[in-house]
Every structure is written in C-alpha cells, then in structure tokens.
Amino acid sequence: MWASDLVTIFEGTALISAASAIFVSIFALIQLMHLEKHRNVEISMKLFEWAETDRLRKAFKWMDTKYQFKTYADFKLLEEKDVEASEYPFEVTAFFEQVGFLVEKKFVDLDVVADRLGHYVVLNWRKLEPWVMAIRHEKRDATYGEHFQRLHLQTVKYMRKRCESGETNFCTDIVHAA
C-alpha cells in the first residue's frame, strides 16, 4: 500500500511540475510579445522624429512643391545650379529606404508605418520612381532604392485591403491609381 501512495505522490509532483512549466512558458511568451511591441514603438518614434528634422522636412516640402523629374540630364543641371536642392531626392529616398528596410526585417510593423506615412510613401515613390531608375542605371546598381520600392508596393496593398474592408480614409485616388 505504501508503494502505491508513493507512485501517486510522484504522479502529482510530475503533474504540478508540468503545469508550472506551461505557466512559465506562457508568461515568458507574453513578456516577449510585450517587449516586441515596446521595440516597435521605440523604433517607430525614432523614425517619426527623423521625419520631423528640419532638413528632412525641407526636403519633403521641396519634393512636394518643386520637384519634377523630366530627364536625368535635367537633374544633372539642377545639381550644378542648386547643390542643396539636388540632395533632396537622395534624402527622401534614403529615409524611405531605411523605413522599408526596417519593415522588411520586421523591426517595425507595416501597419504602423502605413497608417502614419502611407500617403507619403505612395506619393514620394511615384515622384521619385523615374529618378531612382535613372540612378540605378547611372550607378549600375539595380538595388538602389529597392527597400523603398517594396515599401511602396506593400503600402499600396495594405491601403487597398483597408479600403476594401470599409475604412474609407484609405480609399483615395493614390491607392487606386498606384
């Protein structure tokens, strides 16, 4: 009789140990998810701070109001006349290239970026795409701007999906024309 009581005690101990291990695993998973969300917020805030710097704001404004790419030769003339303005397409491309890289590597979620910067991603890619293609050709670098390009495609897809689900603020000419 004593041996059967001992087996029951061992079974009970094993059951308690297994339950404890499951509880600890669930707790650890919840903590990791919380850390992931915190990291996402931190990186997002740094991106948005970068977007608000005077230099980048000036570049965005110039791109929005004055930029028109006709030919690469015209761009080279602009480079000679206004060195500062000729840097703006590079700066805007670099910003969205970095954002695209962070989204692609899952350091920040696409929905965070698309909800806050989606229209800017789409509009700036549309304006800069011919210029990016010319830079790729000149530098013989088919990868120049690739993260920006993929970010654009992902953002359009995301915005279309949100529009189709009834969120009308995502239903713009920008998304339907892209």
Q: How confident is the model at residue 157 (pLDDT cuts 50, 70, 90)?
A: very high
Coil, strand, or helix at residue 122?
helix
Reply yes or no on whether the pLDDT at 56 is more than 80: yes
* Average pLDDT taken over every residue of the chain: 81
Cα–Cα distances (Å) from 9 to 3, 13, 24, in that order, read 10, 6, 22
Reply yes or no on whether the pLDDT at 135 is more than 60: yes
Place of tokens 């910003």: 95
More confident of the two residues 101 and 170: 101
pTM for this prediction: 0.73
Q: Please answer whether residues 95 and 52 qualify as being in contact, where contact means their C-beta atoms are separated by less than 8 angstroms.
A: no
